[in-house]
Every structure is written in structure tokens, then in C-alpha cells.
Amino acid sequence: MKGIIIIVSALLALTAGKPLESDHEELHLSLNKQLLRSVDIQDNLPNPSVHIALRLSKQHNLAKESEHLNRLKTDFHNDIEKSLKNNELAVGRLALYILALKSSCHDLESLYLAGNDDREPLFTHLKREMEEEKQNIAFSHRPKTNYYQYSLGILALCVSGIRVNAHVTQKLIHAVEHGQIKHGESLCVDTHAMAGMALQCLKDEGTGFKDPEELDKALATIKQRLLDSKRADGHMGNEFSTGLAVQALLAMGSPMNEFATAMEALRADARQGTYHNPMAISQVLPALQQKSYLNLKKKECRSEDGTSKLYTLVLDAITETEVPPSKEKVSLEVEVIKSNGEASLYIIHVPRGSSLFEALSFLQDKQKDFNFSTQESLWGPFLSMVNGEQARQTDRRYWHISTDGTSLNQGIKDYKIDSAQKITFKNTGY
């Protein structure tokens, strides 16, 4: 009897320490509502990644999803055309746009892109850009954009049932095999994740590659690198790459025990409010619901008449409360290191809780010899110029941002200045 009591007590203890499934569902619902609220913000371009996450989710607000799709087909579509007229590659954004349209079962053959001299269907243009990327890899051993966008391009074509040129695939497999997917000397977890989903899609389709054994070897390499990136706290890479890493492992058929701690890390982050950027949530929510971009291959939109409970997601009314800025100020050192090694140092005091963007704006107002500008991205604004010096993707350069020697993994509008620190901006090549 005593043994039975001990066993029962142990089982109760385990049950008490394990979150209920209903707790997970409530967390998913909260993230879903955050995404829905983000689509109402008209100041920014509509985000195709957000649309994909909403469409992959278990619950829906069809009216808001339809409105967002229409904005993608106008505002986002027009922005891609603007890039093309400026002779800029749009591989990643075009791929996400196609995946977003696919998630809503839109007729992809009905949409065209107007460039400088031509008007082409979406797939025709994406395939042509992928050929340009492939040629650039052959010439300079890297894409014009990066392997993340290159992988997205392959994924979008594959998921949509469009045959991928085996030579295009081979360049990605070669990059995986030869360790070319990295950022400086660091492993790119999110790029490996996207490459894994792209190559897994091709394997599932049985087309778009030359050697099945070589493809399997590349997938095994990607999986191992993702697993090796796991930290003691469960994250793979960092808080903002773990969602895609889990998606990739799901897509590649990994057993749950291989990424269970990563799922728990995602849930812990979500409960702590780490994911307030819509782009971050759009990558985390599918992973938490055990979905990946590969689920779009078989996405169906039938029976979406709004009568099912799954299609009646309603946003709660929220009361906006004005949060007064903190009167307490913290010291901030800002160091700028240009490409030639020339360094400048500034010291300012900013209200505690200011975003890095707000701090830089304050510094620009106070110091005549400091200036900066940004460009918009799906993650929010990113630094393009500091003190008159550009760091552009076309030149394969970027402003590396670190605080007290640790690289920032958030955007300048998301990162908050909560304590005295030194932030360094270094013009870096890759």
C-alpha cells in the first residue's frame, strides 16, 4: 500500500508540473490575436509572413484575413514592382508573397509583375531571379542576396508545384556541404532552417535534384547543425531563430523528443512577452502548433463559410493606456566604427525603457556630427546609414550592433535601453 501511495503521489507531482494542453491552446490564441491586431496597423506594409501564420493557424477571422490578402495584392505587390523598377532583386519578398497567396488558395497565375520593360507572371519572374542568383553563385560563390532568400525562392516554387531547376538546387546543396551558410564565422540557424524546408519539399516531391543520396546527406547535415545549435536553455541559435528551426525539424520528420526543449523555450518566451514583433510571432506560432511552411502544399480553403467555431475568432476590445515616459535616465555610450576602422564615441542620457531607435533619434538631435537613416524591412526598420556611411546588402555590408560586446538579436525599434550600457555599431562585411 505504501508503494502505491508513493507512485500515485509521484504521478500527481508530474501532472501538476506539466502545463495542461488547454494552457498551450490559450497561449496560441493569444499569439494569434496579436497577429490579427497587427494587420490593422496601416502605417506599415502588409506582411506576407503574418498572413501565412494566420492561414496556418487553427482559428481564423476570415474577414480580417481577406482584408489583409487584399492589401498584400495591392500595397505589397506595388512595393515589389517598385523594387524591380529600381533594378533591385526581390527574391525573398516575392517568395513570401507567393507563399502567402498560396496559403489563401489564390490563383497565382492571375497575377503579374510589371518591371521596367516587361510584365510577367509571378512564377516566371521568380524563376528568372533564381537563375540570376544561381549564375552569381557560379561566378562569385554566393547569391546576390543571401542563401536565406535563395532557399525561400526554392521553397515557394516547390510548395506551389512549380518544377525547380536541378542546377539551382545543386548550388544550395553545395553551400550546405561546404559550410558556406554562415554569417561571418557564426552558423546561420534560420538560413539552415529555411534551406532544410526547401530541400525537404523537393525530396517529398521527388523532383528538382540530381542525386538523391547527396540530397539526403545535405538534409542530414542541416538537421545535425540545427540540433548542435541547441543551447542549455533550449533555444536553437537564439530566441528569434528557434521558431524556424523547430519548423524545419518538424518538416524533416524529426521526433518530438529532439526539439521538445526548444518548444518549451518558445512557450516560455511567448509567456514573457519576448515575441511582440509580428514577424517573430509569425515564425513562432506555426511551430507551436506543430506546423511548418510545408503544410501549405496541401492547404485547402473549402468549407470556409464562417459558421465553424474555427472561423469565428473575435478580437477582444482593448483599452489603450498612455504609458508616461520614465523620468529616470540611464547612461548610454554609442560607438560608431566605420569600414576603415575610424571610431567615434558619444555619451548621452536617455529615459529608461527607450527603444534604441528613440535613443539614436535623441542623439541625432543633440549631436550635429551624428546622423543615421533606416530602411524598412518585414522585421521593422534596420540601419542603412550611420554618420554618412552606407552599409548596403548590395555591397554585402551591414551595421553589426552589439551591446557590451554581445550581438543584438532584436531590431532597433524592439530593443529597449533598460540599463546603462555601451552600444557599438560596426560597418561589417559578409
pLDDT tens for 309-319 read: 666 788 876 65
Query: Which pLDDT band, with edges at 50, 70 and 90, does 76 fall under?
Result: very high
- Whether the per-residue pLDDT at 41 is higher than 70: the answer is yes
Report percent pLDDT > 90 for the chain.
74
pLDDT at 322: 52
Distance CA 254, CA 225 (A): 13
Mean residue pLDDT of the chain comes to 89
Q: Which three cell numbers stand for residue 161?
A: 508545384
Phi, psi at residue 91, to the nearest 5°? -55, -55
Between CA 31 and CA 36 the distance in angstroms is: 9
pLDDT value, residue 430: 75
Could you tell me the domains of the chain?
22-311 (1.50.10.20), 329-429 (2.170.130.30)
Using DSSP bridges, classify how beta strands 372-375 and 421-429 pair: parallel, antiparallel or unpaired. unpaired
Which amino acid is present at 249? L
With a cut of 80, say whether residue 9 has pLDDT above it: no
- N-term to C-term CA, the chain: 67
Q: CA–CA separation, 291 vs 289, rounded Å? A: 6
Residues in the chain: 430
pLDDT for the residue 405: 85
How much is the pLDDT for 119?
83
The pLDDT of residue 315 is 81
Q: What is the pLDDT of residue 308?
A: 67
* pLDDT score, position 306: 60
Q: Is residue 32 over pLDDT 90? A: yes
> According to the model, what pLDDT value does residue 42 have?
78
Q: How confident is the model at residue 1 (pLDDT cuts 50, 70, 90)?
A: very low
d(CA 315, CA 83): 35
CB 420 within 8 A of CB 330: yes
Residue 14 reports pLDDT greater than 60: no
pLDDT band, very low/low/confident/very high, at 12 (cuts 50, 70, 90): very low
Mean pLDDT, range 17-43, rounded to an integer: 83
Q: Could you tell me the three cell numbers for 111?
A: 497575377
* Tens-place pLDDT, residues 157-202: 999 999 999 999 999 999 999 999 987 667 899 999 999 999 999 9
Burial of 206 (0-12, 13-18, 19+ CB in 10 A): exposed
Q: What is the pLDDT of residues 389-420, one digit of tens each?
A: 998 766 778 899 999 888 888 899 999 999 99
How far is 268 from 282, CA to CA, in rounded Å? 16
Predicted confidence (pLDDT) at residue 101 exceeds the cutoff of 90: yes
Please give the share of the chain, as a percent, with pLDDT higher than 70: 89
Q: Is the pLDDT of residue 237 over 70?
A: yes
The conformation of residue 380, written as its DSSP 8-state character, comes to: S
**Sign of the dihedral through C-alpha 89, 52, 46, 384:** negative
**Residue range 265-286, pLDDT digits in tens:** 999 999 999 998 999 999 999 9
Q: pLDDT tens, 348-381? A: 999 999 999 999 999 999 999 999 999 888 998 8
Q: Inform me whether the pLDDT recorded for 84 exceeds 50.
A: yes
State mean pLDDT over 119-125. Answer: 92
Which of these, 388, 398, 392, 394, lies nearest to 425 by C-alpha position? 398
Q: Is the pLDDT of residue 4 over 70?
A: no
